[in-house]
Chains A and B, each alone.
Chain A
Amino acid sequence: MSAFIKDLLELQFLQNAVIAGILCSIASGVVGTYVVLKRITYIAAAISHCVLGGLGAARYFSVVYDLPWLRPVYGAIFTAIASALLIGFISLRAKEREDTIISALWAIGMAVGVLFIFKTPGYNEDLMSYLFGNILMVSREDLYLIALLDVIVIGLTVAFYHQTVAVCFDEEFARTRGVAVEFYYLLLLCLTALTVVLTVSVVGIIMVIALLSLPVAIASRFFDSVWKIMIAATLLGITFTLSGLIFSYAPDLPSGALTIVIAGVTYFLTLIWFSLKKSHIAKAESDVTS
């Protein structure tokens, strides 16, 4: 830990990593709350896997056609928004078989990405960092982009808070009040898409869904209003990503994986604690009545 702090003061990539962890946790805490409450973790996971297609395609065209301005993240943003809107329209229109279509998109997105990465000349090590994340490779430009996306996510959440919470709680009632339910549903999916893109750099495509849902799952055990859960999930997310970064540094472990393990263990400890507490209360009550 002391080695980490010493290096943090000197090495810019480490400072970038810390800032990226904090900035990503803000968006994933806020948007993750919607994802968990609206029960669309499956859709969020599908979007995150589709992102590989965009990353791979953008990198391929950038290398093959010598387009240095075309960064992989732009491809990721485009694919994420496109797949979010596509899935959104499918789930609004299709009455059944929704999950089958979403699974198909999930797999096709990944397959396209793998093909592009395979055909891209040069080293293909990027595939691993896309899948499992590499927070130490986050650049200054990435940070500006993540900060911009944070501003968008927070701005839209503050502006549309009542409407989005009402849509999560009871879509049909919101519709009877004249709320534009379809618009807010697609908005939530687009926010999810943007958040997924920036979280991919921290924990990678495969583990994004854990960073979106685990802090919220823990926070929702302690708080009973949506905005409190958003704040608590953000703080938990920061704790998890930073502790993952710090504890992986000295033994040279992959920080994304360690972050998820820490978050997962905390989640299950919380569950155990609450079930013990519940059985303790039940026992105390039965002692009183007997």
Chain B
Amino acid sequence: MKMIKQLRSKKAIYLAGIILVTSSYTLISEEPIPQGKTYSASEKAASQKAFLAVYDVLMSPRCMNCHPKGDVPLQGDDSHLHTQGVIRGSDGHGVYAMKCTNCHQPKNTPGLNMPPGNPKWHLPPADMKMVFEGKTPRELAAQLKDPEQNGHKTMAEIVDHISHDELVLGGWNPGDGRKKPPLTHPQFEKEFRDWVKNGAVLPEK
């Protein structure tokens, strides 16, 4: 009995080792922009094309409404200014009695025009506004690549963010009566990874 237990614990150690090696490999292999790599013209064109698809998603109301150019979030499929005079606040969570989660619950409130929900509901903070509204594809791509404008993230972290972040994924669960972004989340993620894999090239305009 003791021997079986020992064998089992040895097995567990080997298994843990294999998982650790595999996951480190996965992390390294997912590092999006290999240093020093040069890209062919066709790769660069593929990168630019992929970003244009990404751009359509980022500029859809489900993404852009919380990346406004001013300090007032946007609302609805027509991206009008948020009613009730809501403002960003320094941390992006609203101010005083008008904090986002005072109305926005951890889940969507059912019904038309009811507040959509997410446990992380907020805007970018005032010192890193990460504006989408009004940006051209070239401007937005440049912003996403610049750690000084993208929340101090590496490209690997940006890819991870758009792939797994709860609030990003919430764009595809917008609550009753709201349009989803023009691509599915897996399509969006694929286009984003294609943009990065092929050099994260800025579109012409």
A, B from the same assembly? no
- The interface of chain A, by Cβ under 8 A from chain B, is none
